[in-house]
Amino acid sequence: MVQIEIKLDPVPGADGANGVLTSKHSAVLHRHLDHEFLVLDQAKGNYLLLEDGRKIIDASGGAAVGSIGWGNERVALAVAKQVLAAPYCATIFFTTIPQEELAKELIAGTGGDMARAYIVNSGSEAMEAALKLARQYYLEIGQPQRSRFISRERSYHGITLGALAVGGHKARRAKFEPLLMDNVSQVSPCFAFRGKAAGESDTDYVHRLAVELDDEFQRVGPETVCAFVAEPVVGAALGCATAVAGYFKAVKAICEKHGALLILDEVMCGMGRTGTLHAWQQEGVVPDIQTIGKALSGGYQAVAGVLVNQRVVGALEKGTSAFVHGHTYQGHPAGCAAALEVQRIIREEGLLENVRQMGDLLEKRLRAQLAGHPNVGDIRGRGLFWGVELVADKASMTPFPDADHVCMEICELGLDEKYSILVYPGGGSVDGIRGDHIILAPAFNIKPDEIETIAATVARLISDYFAAKG
């Protein structure tokens, strides 16, 4: 048994002595070159401790990553043990017990609906692998003409070129358009808040979207399509937008009609975030390929993955028997050990039940404290995945102009000592349509008093922000 004693010393002051580090004085190529960054020192439970001594409640699990809170010693020990045992594995020759056990755990969590797990390091990598698996599937079964993807407008599937190409996030695509594959087309998302016509029933809305998708298959040639790609509950792009009942059954039927695969991106909404291990388990469909990330390792290591059903695995087995893809760090032993421990904790501690209960409480409190605010257009979500959409005019749902940077300003104000809360920004100009929202996605073991604090602080934050804006 390895005995490890870890002493947590505060980070030495250096440039960040006052808790703020300007990008100008940093050797890091930060996302924003003109920005000041707060220096994170430690994270414990549902709190982030900054170098300047401030304590911030983490209401979004970072970027909807944290699933068991921060500072879990069981996970830290599992990672440390694995690093000492075998920190790296050349997966072209070897496998490790954590990788095998994690895959087993993940497949069991699908009730056997999926057959194999492919472990990588980020959601974008998982999406790249998913797209290539779909393409290779059709090569294996003798349909090489299938090389197209249909995805949805106002979607985000990752930042690498393939993932960006299937995404419908105009602002993130714009500069890189000439580099993106062009065999992708997009249809409308299922987004009741802005997409459903006045007086339209859910059934009619689903029917309209299904016809649009079917028409798109016909337009591009159904025999050329590999897969339809969608996020079951849309996170960053639409602010926790759940689909209208029956939507996923309808799109799955269209995929089946045209012999195409269904790829569901559960990088953000999956691994328990919405109250079931997989968001598709609440939609009555099973995907052919599914991506996972974020809550999978709960932030303890960089881990993501692809779950693949037997239809696809079987074609590879009968065909060339090799997936022509790979990363140096795939199946990383320490990453697998972290994800495995996190998943075991979620299962053993019954945290999905807590997601459902605390999700209900969060919804109630958000609606009670925010629904009447003149700049809150919509409150939506599922489990511990909630979005608050902010509008300039409630009656017409008119969004704020781009230049106002409303959601980002609110999130930055949240970090002020007066509020000390981390909420996550989303929206902006996605596909030319404005929409500011903030995302709440606390850890699955959050407690009722913490939910009360989060809801009350978010209400105060939004109210103060708009009062000051005038």
User: Nearest distance from residue 270's CB to ligand PLP, in Å?
Assistant: 9
* Per-residue binding letters, 128-147, with ligand PLP (x by CB under 6 A): --------------------
What residues contact 381, with CB distance under 8 A and at least 6 apart? 233, 240, 242, 359, 363, 387, 440
Instruction: Decide if residue 127 touches ligand PLP (CB under 6 A).
Output: yes
Instruction: Decide if residue 265 touches ligand PLP (CB under 6 A).
Output: yes
What residues contact 38, with CB distance under 8 A and at least 6 apart? 19, 20, 21, 50, 51, 52, 54, 415
Pick out residues in 202-231 that bind ligand PLP (CB under 6 A): 231
Residue 324 is given by DSSP the state S
Instruction: Decide if residue 244 touches ligand PLP (CB under 6 A).
Output: no
Instruction: Decide if residue 303 touches ligand PLP (CB under 6 A).
Output: no
Instruction: Decide if residue 299 touches ligand PLP (CB under 6 A).
Output: no
Q: Binding residue for ligand PLP (CB under 6 A) from 16, 275, 293, 414?
A: 293
Q: Binding residue for ligand PLP (CB under 6 A) from 152, 154, 157, 437?
A: 157
Exposure class string for 130-143: b at 16+ Cβ within 10 A, else e: bbbbbbbbbbbbee
Instruction: Decide if residue 459 touches ligand PLP (CB under 6 A).
Output: no
Six token digits for residue 444: 């699955």
Give the three-state DSSP class for 230.
Answer: strand
Taking every pair of C-alpha atoms in the chain, what is the biggest distance, in angstroms?
Answer: 65
C-alpha to C-alpha distance for 222 and 62, rounded to whole angstroms: 40
Q: In terms of CB distance, is 69 or 123 closer to ligand PLP?
A: 123
Instruction: Decide if residue 279 touches ligand PLP (CB under 6 A).
Output: no
Instruction: Decide if residue 295 touches ligand PLP (CB under 6 A).
Output: no
Q: In terms of CB distance, is 51 or 266 closer to ligand PLP?
A: 266
Strand residue runs (E) in 3-143:
20-22, 36-38, 40-44, 47-50, 55-58, 116-120
Size of the site for ligand PLP (CB under 6 A): 16
* Nearest C-alpha neighbor of 383 from the set 447, 303, 425, 440: 440
Q: In terms of CB distance, is 16 or 61 closer to ligand PLP?
A: 61
Q: In terms of CB distance, is 72 or 124 closer to ligand PLP?
A: 124
Give the residue closest to ligand PLP by C-beta.
123
Instruction: Read off the amino acid at residue 174.
Output: A
Q: Binding residue for ligand PLP (CB under 6 A) from 16, 109, 232, 235?
A: 235
Pick out residues in 396-435 that bind ligand PLP (CB under 6 A): none
C-alpha to C-alpha distance for 248 and 290, rounded to whole angstroms: 14
User: Nearest distance from residue 275's CB to ligand PLP, in Å?
Assistant: 17
Instruction: Decide if residue 169 touches ligand PLP (CB under 6 A).
Output: no
Q: Binding residue for ligand PLP (CB under 6 A) from 50, 261, 268, 306?
A: 268
- What's the order of all strands across the beta sheet hosting 436-440? 376-382, 385-390, 436-440, 424-427
Using CB under 6 A, list all residues that contact ligand PLP: 122-124, 127, 156-159, 231, 235-236, 265, 267-268, 293, 304
